[in-house]
Amino acid sequence: EKAGFDHFMLKEINEQPKAYRDTMRGRISEDGRSVALPELKITAEQLKGINRVHIVACGTALHAGLVGKNVIESLVRIPVETDVASEYRYRSPIITPDTLVIVVSQSGETADTLAALREAQRCGARVLAITNVVGSSVAREADDVIITLAGPEIAVASTKAYSSQLIAFFLFGLYWAQVVGKQDEAAVSHVLSAMQALPEQVEKILAQAEVLKEVAESISHHSSLFFIGRGVDYAVAMEGSLKLKEISYIHSEAYAAGELKHGTLALIEEGTPVIALLTQEELYEKMLSNIKETKARGADVLGIVNEGHESEIAKSVDRYFSIPRTLPLLTPALSVIPLQLISYYASLALGHDVDKPRNLAKSVTVE
Ligand code: F6R
């Protein structure tokens, strides 16, 4: 049932091209110029009336939500707040009639997420759920549902569910922008064609998976490391860091690269591994200076860059891994793949139970 893979996690990492295709299938018009989400009950008129969004989830699903915030804010230009479900539900969130609450949950059964959904509805908000399980509690109780078609996820560490949630956010953001006229047809079809190239681009990354084994093995000798990035790269850094902690039990922290010098830089010493994401071209030079700050303290840096930057980045980092080019907003769907693989190989190198990490359950149905 692992289809020839050693672990469910590796199988699920490799299923991402299919998960992307399945999640997009039927939701992009034949001519590739518009998004169709007929499952949504919310009307164009109602979407026009939404002026703020709260994205609420736990763990990896929340990390997908952080990318979702960037997607909605840049495509629709509406302010989005993200919150941890266990905080949101108890902090009397400020919900107005023009607030849309989006809950994200692979299982659709996470207790805190479900409670946040109920609290939001109690306060009068309309709730849209992004979930992988049809008929789950979250899917049943939400006002609108977008199902990710990642297929069953068995490994405790979420991979294909997370990346399919990103696809769902891209689709929903485009759909919304399209129906309220925030993006014209040319802009929407430009993003859609880039999205349709993602599955093949993931395949290209997966074909280089072995390269990351060596990086993971060197990391596995360390007790702590950092993931740094800016913009959506910072959101992906958080997911990379959680994945590594979860299955390799190595401590790591994700940091907004520009924030390091405000204290945390003190923790970087000779040999400290740093994984730096540099997929946002506009922020590339800024990232290079942040990398320099860590190198000056002896950090051992892996740079994740877009194709074409190889020879240049080689001068600034100890190792690099390049990913195919896509639109800046879509890069998380590619850049997370090497991070998933690094965690997988690090856990393997340390001899841990990759699919069933200690102390964790697949579905957290208690508070
Ligand atoms: C990490 C992981 C967890 C879940 C979280 C929410 O790999 O899987 O952080 O993302 O427990 O679970 P769902 O998405 O089922 O609500």
Instruction: Give the containing element (helix H, strand E) for 305.
Output: strand 300-306
Does this model's pTM top 0.95? My answer is yes
DSSP structural state of residue 299? -
Mean of all residue pLDDT scores within the chain: 96
DSSP structural state of residue 315? T
Is the CB of residue 275 less than 8 Å from the CB of residue 248? no
Distance CA 193, CA 325 (A): 13
Active site residues: 362
Distance CA 197, CA 216 (A): 28
- Can you list the alpha helix ranges (DSSP code H) found in 59-184? 59-76, 85-88, 111-122, 137-141, 160-179
Nearest to 302 by CA among 294, 352, 286: 294
Is the CB of residue 182 less than 8 Å from the CB of residue 50? no
Give the pLDDT band (50/70/90) at residue 366.
confident
Atom number, ligand 1, closest to the C-alpha of residue 138: 16
Ligand 1, from 106, 154, 363, 366: best to mutate by most atoms within 8 Å of Cβ? Answer: 106
What pLDDT score does 359 carry?
Answer: 83
Q: Rounded to the nearest whole angstrom, what is the distance from the C-alpha of residue 58 to the centroid of ligand 1?
A: 6
Ligand 1 neighbour 136 (Cβ under 6 A): no
What pLDDT score does 73 carry?
Answer: 98
What pLDDT score does 1 carry?
Answer: 87
Q: Any bridge partners for residue 28, and if so which?
A: 35
Supply the ipTM of this predicted assembly. Answer: 0.99
SS3 108: coil
Ligand 1 neighbour 62 (Cβ under 6 A): no
Distance CA 17, CA 9 (A): 15
Ligand 1 neighbour 164 (Cβ under 6 A): no
Nearest to 340 by CA among 199, 203, 162: 162
Q: Residue for token digits 């992004």?
A: 130
What pLDDT score does 364 carry?
Answer: 83
| pLDDT above 90 for 157 | yes
Q: Any bridge partners for residue 228, and if so which?
A: 255, 276
Residue 227: CB partners within 8 Å, gap ≥ 6?
Answer: 237, 238, 240, 241, 252, 253, 254, 255, 274, 275, 276, 277, 339
Distance CA 143, CA 213 (A): 44
pLDDT in tens, 214-267: 999 999 999 999 999 999 999 999 999 999 999 999 999 999 999 999 989 999
| pLDDT above 90 for 134 | yes
Is the CB of residue 355 less than 8 Å from the CB of residue 154? yes
What pLDDT score does 357 carry?
Answer: 86
| pLDDT above 90 for 23 | yes
Is the CB of residue 66 less than 8 Å from the CB of residue 82? yes
Ligand 1 neighbour 37 (Cβ under 6 A): no
Atom number, ligand 1, closest to the C-alpha of residue 362: 8
Ligand 1, from 158, 164, 343, 358: best to mutate by most atoms within 8 Å of Cβ? Answer: 158
Nearest CA to ligand 1 atom 6: 58
